[in-house]
Amino acid sequence: MWNEFARLWREYRGFALFVVLMIVFRSAVADWNTVPTGSMKPTIIEGDRIFVNKLAYDLRIPLTYISIHKFGDPGRGDIVVFDSKAAETRLVKRVIGLPGDVVEMRNNLLTINGIGARYSNVEYTADAIFAIESYGGMTHRIELAPAGVSRFSSFGPVKVPEDHYLVLGDNRDNSADSRVRGFIPRGEIVGDARTVVLSIDYDRYYLPRMDRFLRNL
């Protein structure tokens, strides 16, 4: 039996080593995630595959959430990937509130620490309202429901607890984010996303969207 095992090891050790290294790499260094919903539209759309940098904030022991070195903390405006215990799934959202911030939203207008976000380039279509939301160094495009108001449109003011973050989807009226799941613990955040690797159009026979390949977020 031992001789048979030794023979198999000699024959397949290269493949086994490759599999182990791939698991370690995807667990602790980098991965990609499929985005199945439109909660981050218009920044990320259904069918996008996003590159996840797992070394953005921490060096972790592979296959665990144990951080052995912290490179930094998420910043306002970062798109983070986190394993939500509240949602029991992996989610992708944008960091809006940092620990200690007081955040409020009234009719989809954000106020952080008493200072209102700025809104520009407002565009009305039959299906949605689009605008550029800016606060400090954070600038990104958001999407709202055509009516402009939903049950998600107002909340707070709330204070973000220590070691937690308030996250929102860019598709403000169609995102189960901190308004539904609560504040996100720092330990649940596994990395950030800054690039679309590739994109598949579910409505066009899974054809690739070439214009979204390697697109910066």
Catalytic residue positions, numbered: 39, 93
Query: How far apart are alpha carbons 83 and 162 in whole angstroms?
Result: 19
15 neighbors 166 (Cβ within 8 angstroms): no
- By the 10 Å C-beta count (0-12 exposed, 13-18 middle, 19+ buried), 111 is classed as middle
